[in-house]
Structure 1
């Protein structure tokens, strides 16, 4: 009989590509992952892995079994949702991952609404690097998460996860002085300006770089700041220009000029595939939809 825990490891290896990455994501040692996969091979009775030096890849049989593992794990999420629904009561921890602006502008009102409707639920919120959210959801460290993408940086699909749209918002060019240009020319007019971007490797940083490249140039980056309130403070101090989403502009200091540009940021709710019917996931999603701030478009 194939053991589900080992099938999960195989699924993760198919997704991540290395035993070290699987071990890091699931808090195992690499040797433990290797041992469990060796046991799974013996249970399966056919080779599941091909080893070339230190590298490991799945055989055709291994890839096929990984696809079945994906389906089994999705069915397990569905079964869990049905069991909770049968108990007719929501209680216990609900682990929510989020990015900073959503934690400030969307989640507080949603948690108030969730508490009103389901007082026995215990939401536990963690700010988490968007790049790590997929791993945390798949590993069971989070139950649901808020993620975002931009027009120039669409969200890549992740096996084992389902994403539902929540809301969309406009982006603004923040500057210390007005820009006399139509919206589609605002970024092009800033070619000679210093820019403030998020840290390299983030979606926000990629969005700024690609938006400028679409306008015909590569921006000259002076500051790299992730917190939008700090970005706006630097803009007001004449340190450069920046692209900021609508909910990042709520604390814009005096002297900041915000010019709307034709770029959108979209916020979405992510959860494990099969978990959309989980009562707790459905409850927080409903609360989030009812708490979308003014100025954002519900989707």
Structure 2
């Protein structure tokens, strides 16, 4: 049987490209790390790393085995997190992952409700992008996480239990003075001659805009790349262009913009983009009582965001009619 500590060392060496850096990460001397690597190579009967003029590089066999070592490391981290969670179950700790638009909309009322019902439980929230949140679930850094996806990039992870919480429609953001606000719905194909505000740095909403416009038969002309939704709203209000955004991202709407629903595209038959807000939990670990209570609260709060009457009231309010 392979030595687990040596597998973990190999994973560090492959990631860092240096025996010295790997040894420091594992609180070992470089000499001890080198000896352990030699023992592991003897165990498997083939070279696992190549010595370079500067640092080292994993062989093909070493890279494959290092990937196994990373999986072992992940499981060990998750086991430690499990023990830590149950060690503190008497006083109650729940760790939750989230992303910015959920943290600005769905999460605050959920946290308020949870703390009111469970004042003895400490809540810790970790923020991240989609890949980071999934990794935090795998390693046990968080017990639950809010995730999102669209129909063209569904979260596909058999290590997670995914429960849809609500659907978050994409809306059109226009200046308050726009003649479009008199429309019940706006077909995207009618906006081919418009300038657009897009999210910068390959943000997922930038992909949504480009996909939706291409389905409607045109390539969007980009006037500005914003770094957050408040900045995007400001540029829309200034008349620089229009924007698309998930409705939950606009809970803090400026008074000088309006949000309009998108119509189905008649030519392609495509529906307006809608993202799913998901609650994710590790498939192979039982949730602590605190995590189970938080999950129930999140489901309850999500229902308030999907209530048909509330939705109509919100649309009326945001359209300013």
TM, length-normalised to structure 2: 0.68
Question: 1:74-103 CA deviation, whole Å, 9 max, x = no partner?
Answer: 99659938983xx89453543333222211
2:97 alignment counterpart: 97
Unmatched tracts of structure 2, length 5 or more = 263-271, 309-321
In the other structure, the counterpart of 1:174 is: 173
Instruction: Please name the residue that 1:24 is paired with.
Output: none
Contact 1:171–1:243 under 8 Å retained in 2: yes
CA contact (8 A) 2:167 2:306 kept: yes
Q: Which residue of 1 aligns with 2:129?
A: 129
Structure label with greater radius of gyration: 2
The verdict on how the C-alpha distance between 1:282 and 1:191 changes in structure 2, with shifts beyond 3 A counting, is same
Shift of 1:195: 0.9
Q: What SS class does the counterpart of residue 167 from structure 1 fall into?
A: strand
Give the CA RMSD over aligned residues.
Answer: 4.5
Is contact 1:10-1:66 (8 Å) kept?
no
TM-superposed deviation, 1:289 = 0.9
What are the within-5 Å matches in structure 2 for residues 35-114 of structure 1?
Answer: 39=36, 42=39, 45-46=43-44, 49=48, 55-56=57-58, 59=61, 62=64, 66=68, 69=71, 73=75, 80=82, 84=86, 89-114=89-114
2:273 match: secondary structure: strand
Give yes or no for the alignment of 1:116 onto 2:116: yes
- 1:209-288 aligned within 5 A: 209-261=210-262, 262-275=272-285, 277-288=287-298
Q: Distance in 2 between matches of 1:82 and 1:33?
A: 22
Q: Which digits, 9 at most, give the CA deviation of each residue in 1:164-184, with x for residues without a partner?
A: 32221211111232448885x
- After TM superposition, give the deviation of residue 241 of structure 1 in Å: 0.8
Give a deviation string over 1:88-145, Cα, whole Å, max 9, x none: 9453543333222211211122112322343332112243333432344444443432
Post-superposition offset of 1:264: 0.6
In structure 2, the CA distance between the partners of 1:12 and 1:234, relative to structure 1 (3 Å rule), is farther
- Shifted more, 74-83 versus 258-267: the winner is 74-83
Change (3 A) 1:139 1:172: same
Higher relative contact order (CA 8 A, sep 6+): 1
TM-score by length of structure 1 reads 0.72
Is the Cα contact below 8 Å between 2:92 and 2:122 reproduced in 1?
yes
Aligned length: 285
Provide the secondary structure at the position in 2 that maps to 1:147: strand
The whole-number CA distance in structure 2 between the counterparts of 1:167 and 1:5 is 43
